[in-house]
A = this chain, B = another copy of it.
Amino acid sequence: MEKMKRAERMVAITQLLMSNPNVLTPLTLFAERFGTAKSTISEDLMAVKGSFQLSGQGRLETVSGAAGGVRYIPEISSAEAALFLSKLAQRLSEKERILAGGFLYMTDLLYDPAVLRPLGLIFASSFREKGPEVVVTIETKGIPLALVTAEALGLPMVVIRTGNKVTEGSSVSINYVSGSSRRIQMMSLSRRALDPRRKVLVIDDFMKAGGTALGIKNLMKEFEADVVGIGVLVETQITSEPKLVEGYLSLLKLRELDLNSGKSIIVPEELLFNGL
């Protein structure tokens, strides 16, 4: 490859790092790829790091030592998060989104990468310091949300099945009462899907009474997992009844919902990451 100028190299480094978020890349890889000395790459990286610091969209993390290198940590600033959540709350308050049973139609948003990407960054920024090792969710609608969170954190995802559909060797099943249906249901997870004693972050789309979240917590006990966080996109705050779980983070709160008028009030959570 033809020798690059510093600015071109800095762009190429940025592209490589951002294409592999959370992956530690040794300086020698850059030096080899761009045919330059490691000291030159070091200077390039310092400049790239400085440029990232101004953006609030992600930062460069440096790991020193023989096994060291740099990795790109995707982030979102608190200001951007607040703006995004307030716009999302507004979209969810649209009249035609109210479904029978007091639910909000949000499937279109939950399956839209442009909506999911910032949500993944918001959950990641909220829970990164808890040190989760895996992101756990339950099928079906929570999967995309959990995946973008896992991607932003550089972690694998585990999906609990509802019912007893697990065909992958021995599995653990528990019964739970979903707040939405008030019926006893079953959730299952294959033994091979989750190693014992992991730190897990639970992500789901909606919380009504918290029965599903409680079920997941109980299932996690069977894997001796440490639930370091629970994050949901929307929780209902219509009744004053306490939830079945505590200490969760909900990004949006459904305060009022009038089935007759089709009016709902949704309020975003106020977040603050790293003082940004």
Residues of chain A having any CB pair with chain B under 8 Å: 1, 4, 6-12, 14-16, 18-19, 23, 47-48, 50-52, 54-55, 57-58, 74, 99-101, 103, 105, 107-108, 111-114, 116-117, 139-140, 143-144, 147, 150-151, 154-159, 161, 167-169, 190, 192-193
A74's partner among B1, B19, B140, B193 (CB-CB below 8 A) is B19
The answer to whether B16 and A15 touch across the interface, beta carbons within 8 angstroms, is: no
Q: A139-B139, A147-B144, A167-B103 are in contact. Are A111 and B51 (CB under 8 A)?
A: no
Instruction: Say yes or no: A113-B157 contact (C-beta < 8 A), given A7-B10, A193-B107.
Output: yes
In the assembled complex, the Cα of A161 lies from the Cα of B91 at a distance in Å of: 24
Q: State the oligomeric state as a number of copies.
A: 2
Q: In whole angstroms, how far apart are the Cα atoms of A9 and B47 in the complex?
A: 11
Q: In the complex, what residue of chain B is closest to A19 when comparing beta carbons?
A: B57
For residue A58, which residues in chain B have a CB less than 8 angstroms away from its CB? 15, 19
7 other contacts beyond A8-B54, A15-B58, A107-B190, with CB at 8 A cut-off? A7-B47, A12-B55, A15-B51, A108-B192, A112-B157, A113-B156, A143-B143
